[in-house]
Amino acid sequence: MSHENAPEPLIPGLYIVATPIGNLGDVTIRAVDVLTRCDVVACEDSRVTGKLLKHLGIHKRLIRYNDHSDEKARSKLISSMRDQAVALVSDAGTPLISDPGYRLVQDARSADIAITSLPGACAAVVGLTLSGLPNDRFMFAGFLPTKEQARLAALESVKSIDATLVFYETGPRLVKALDAIQTVLPGREVSVARELTKLFEECRTGSPEELAAHYRMEPPKGEIVLLIGPPIPEVTSPQDADALLKLALEVDKPSQAAGKVAKETGLDRKTLYARALELRNE
């Protein structure tokens, strides 16, 4: 039997492979190459990963590795990486981003195992870019707690962070999460991005109160990225407004700068526009 066309095996070690979050066309060429050439695939759910590999025409041995895997299973995987290429995947998106893998990578580093991470799909980043919320600074904070008081406390702990906050959420818990945001972070702009890259993709932006009312009437399905805009700047003097306008004028026209500052502060847009024109001409 000829092996002339057989792919060259990978160097032993751990390969962190991002997989599609919905649209299978989003798998990268490099991910397909690694999944084709690796010796074994460690996955959350062999049924989910099996469907992806079947779609790609790849046949590999699958080993289940998830949040319930114990230290013994982890040690066994680490040991196999010394002479095999092990690809780590999650059910969707980039492993370790609210998915299993942190301890495996930590232990692999401690054991001097070669580690390669492949960039690819990540729901948090897709949701951020769709939302229109500020993305120069953002904080990913995983899932909000399921219990009400813990959820409120979690939001309270991040309310002063000057960045867009990014959470994962589930359909059944979304309205409760929006109600909690309205309680702790009233006035913030919020985006709900769901079914990302799929047929019924949606990104809806508004106040937490508006969004909660909408999703009470139309209960959401699918996995959700929940984004909260940064704190609203406090304007206590004309000088504060001028500072915000000057910052906005660095990238926007006067009308756009006035609209942005009006939205951030609640000040009159026409007044801000007139002042923006003055500042531009100074």
pLDDT at residue 21 in the model: 96
pLDDT at residue 252 in the model: 87
Chunked in runs of 10, what are the mean pLDDT values of the chain (282 residues)? 66 98 95 97 96 96 91 94 97 92 95 97 97 94 96 96 96 97 93 95 95 96 94 73 86 87 81 88 80
Question: Could you tell me which residues come within 8 angstroms of residue 262 by beta carbon, excluding any fewer than 6 positions away?
Answer: 268, 269, 272
pLDDT at residue 236 in the model: 61
- pTM, full prediction: 0.81
Tokens 């959401």 locate to 220
Q: Are 17 and 89 in contact (CB under 8 A)?
A: yes
Rounded Cα distance, 223 and 259, in Å: 32
Identity of residue 2: S
Q: In this structure, what token pair is assigned to residue 191?
A: 């985006």
Rounded Cα distance, 2 and 10, in Å: 20
DSSP letters for 123-172: HHHHHHHHH-S--SSEEEEEEPPSSHHHHHHHHHHHTT-SSEEEEEEEGG
Q: In this structure, what token pair is assigned to residue 14?
A: 């751990």
Identity of residue 272: L
